[in-house]
Amino acid sequence: MFRIVEKQQLTPDTVLMRIAAPRVAKAARPGQFVMVRVDEKGERIPLTIADYSAEEGWVAIVTQTVGATSLKLNSLAAGDAIADFTGPLGRPSDFVTVAEDELRAKRFLFIAGGVGAAPVYPQVKWLHERGVRVDVIIGARNASLLIFTDQMRAACDNLYIATDDGSAGFHGMVTSLVKELVEVRGEKYDEAVTIGPMVMMKFTAMTTAELKIPTIASLNTLMVDGTGMCGACRVTVGGKTVFACVDGPEFDAHQVDFDEAMRRQTMYRTEEKQAYDRAKEGASASASVSAPASDHKCKIGRDE
Residues within the interface to another protein (CB under 8 A):
23-24, 27, 37, 41-44, 68-69, 72, 83-89, 224-225, 227-232, 234-236, 241, 246, 260, 263-264, 266-268, 271-272, 275
Distance of CA 49 to the CA centre of its chain: 8
Q: Which is nearer to another protein, 190 or 277 (CB)?
A: 277
- In angstroms, give the least distance from the CB of 9 to another protein: 23
Q: Which is nearer to another protein, 114 or 119 (CB)?
A: 119
Q: State the pairing for strand pair 158-163/170-171.
A: parallel
- In angstroms, give the least distance from the CB of 1 to another protein: 10
* Beta-sheet strands, E only, within 175-218: 191-195, 215-218
Burial of 271 (C-beta count, 10 Å sphere; 0-12/13-18/19+): exposed
- In angstroms, give the least distance from the CB of 49 to another protein: 12
* Full DSSP string of 54-74: TTTTEEEEEEE--SHHHHHHH
- In angstroms, give the least distance from the CB of 235 to another protein: 8
- In angstroms, give the least distance from the CB of 37 to another protein: 6
Q: Which is nearer to another protein, 56 or 102 (CB)?
A: 56
Q: Which is nearer to another protein, 63 or 69 (CB)?
A: 69
Q: Which is nearer to another protein, 10 or 17 (CB)?
A: 17
Q: Which is nearer to another protein, 142 or 255 (CB)?
A: 255
Residue environment code for 273-289, b if the CB has 16+ CB neighbours within 10 A, otherwise e: eebbeebeeebeeeeeb
What is the Cα–Cα distance from 94 to 44, expressed in whole angstroms? 26
What is the Cα–Cα distance from 267 to 301, expressed in whole angstroms? 13
- In angstroms, give the least distance from the CB of 117 to another protein: 25
218 in Cβ contact with 119 (< 8 Å): yes
